[in-house]
Chain A
Amino acid sequence: MKTRPELTLEDCLKIHAAAEAEARRNHWNVAIAILDDGGHLLHFARMDGATPANAGIAIEKGRTAAFSRRSSGKWEEMVKSGRTSMMKMPGILPIQGGMPIVVEGTCVGGVGVSGVQSAQDEQIAQAGIDALLKG
């Protein structure tokens, strides 16, 4: 029987703490969402100063990464390269800032961030994932 790793709440708190610390270090106010590999919410927090819209955007970016197994930035690149049909992919938000969480070769979920420039959003998401992977 195949077994697979699964995110615990403790893992999520670790990811979130590192991501929020990265945001605060840069004085960025963002929303940070963590989802499981089915794209279902596990943890979410929106810092004061981030807009209500950032909540939904962060969740959709994270969901994109979690259940497509690739970053939302990759989807954005595909659209930018001219494959505009990718805009119609169900459940995909092709905007940088959502990263898959890959553990031992398996995608266990995703992190989505919204609130600043999308490259900065991705930087925050990656900081969270790095904290998890380095233990």
Chain B
Amino acid sequence: MGKFLLAIAAASLSFAVQAQTYGAPITLEQARKVMAAAEAEARKGNLNLSIAIVDTGGHMVLMQRMDGAFFASAAVAGDKAWSAAAYRRTGKAFQDRLATGGAEIRILRLRGANPIEGGDPIVVDGRVVGAIGVSGGSGEQDGVVARAGVAALK
């Protein structure tokens, strides 16, 4: 059943321009660059956030929670990163699709999908090497920080 749902999802959700394959999993050194850029963006906005970076299997490589971030943000950052890695698309893409309503509410049934801005695949040379998840601010704020992190490897 799970596989069946995923198959439907893969067929019907290929709407955004995105990297279609995975590359070599992100190294700790690369993850540290992503983290530094994301953290700098968070501090610029005076935000206390959790930031998580996962590899191509959705497994954690690097994570940190800034002082003052609520504890749920730690788990949510990981969830957003997992979703972005697993589906190779941003939380914002799911969020926008969901907001169109109607049958798109089915996105809420996708295993592990997090339809909230702040999760982005990390793409190097056109391939997904991992993903970043940010939580603790508004979705928009989390999204800005996540994209700043991704940009560090471009």
Report which of B31, B62, B71 forms a contact with A40, defined as CB distance below 8 A. Answer: B71
Q: How far is the CB of A48 from chain B (nearest CB, A)?
A: 5
Q: How far is the CB of A15 from chain B (nearest CB, A)?
A: 12
Report which of B50, B62, B74 forms a contact with A45, defined as CB distance below 8 A. Answer: B62
Bound-complex Cα distance A55 to B59 (A): 7
Contact B28 A46, beta carbon cutoff 8 Å = yes
Which residues of chain B come closer than 8 Å to A9, judged between CB atoms? 64-67
Report which of A8, A44, A45 forms a contact with B67, defined as CB distance below 8 A. Answer: A8
* Given A8-B67, A9-B64, A9-B66, A42 and B27 contact (CB-CB distance below 8 Å): no
Q: How far is the CB of B96 from chain A (nearest CB, A)?
A: 29
Which residues of chain B come closer than 8 Å to A43, judged between CB atoms? 63-65
Contact A38 B71, beta carbon cutoff 8 Å = yes
Bound-complex Cα distance A42 to B75 (A): 10
Judged by a CB distance under 8 angstroms, whether A41 is at the interface is yes
Chain B at the A interface: mostly helix, strand, loop or mixed?
mixed
Which residues of chain A come closer than 8 Å to B55, judged between CB atoms? 52
Bound-complex Cα distance A87 to B78 (A): 27
Judged by a CB distance under 8 angstroms, whether B9 is at the interface is no
Which residues of chain B come closer than 8 Å to A36, judged between CB atoms? 71
Judged by a CB distance under 8 angstroms, whether B60 is at the interface is yes
Question: Size class of B's contact patch?
Answer: 20 to 34
CB under 8 Å from chain A, chain B span 72-115: 74-75, 78
Which residues of chain B come closer than 8 Å to A8, judged between CB atoms? 67
Report which of A40, A41, A45, A59 forms a contact with B28, defined as CB distance below 8 A. Answer: A45
Judged by a CB distance under 8 angstroms, whether A12 is at the interface is yes
* Mask of A3-43 contacts with B, CB within 8 angstroms, 1/0: 00000110010000000000000000001000010101111
Judged by a CB distance under 8 angstroms, whether B61 is at the interface is yes
Bound-complex Cα distance A55 to B60 (A): 6
Judged by a CB distance under 8 angstroms, whether B126 is at the interface is no
Bound-complex Cα distance A19 to B52 (A): 20
Contact B74 A40, beta carbon cutoff 8 Å = yes
Contact B65 A46, beta carbon cutoff 8 Å = no
Chain A residue at smallest Cβ distance from B65: A42
Judged by a CB distance under 8 angstroms, whether A79 is at the interface is no
Bound-complex Cα distance A68 to B85 (A): 33
Report which of B28, B71, B75 forms a contact with A48, defined as CB distance below 8 A. Answer: B28
Chain A residue at smallest Cβ distance from B59: A52
The chain A residues found within 8 Å of chain B, CB to CB, are 8-9, 12, 31, 36, 38, 40-48, 52, 55-56, 59
Nearest 4 Cβ contacts at the A-B interface: A52-B59, A44-B63, A40-B71, A41-B74
The chain B residues found within 8 Å of chain A, CB to CB, are 27-29, 31, 50, 52, 55, 57, 59-67, 71, 74-75, 78
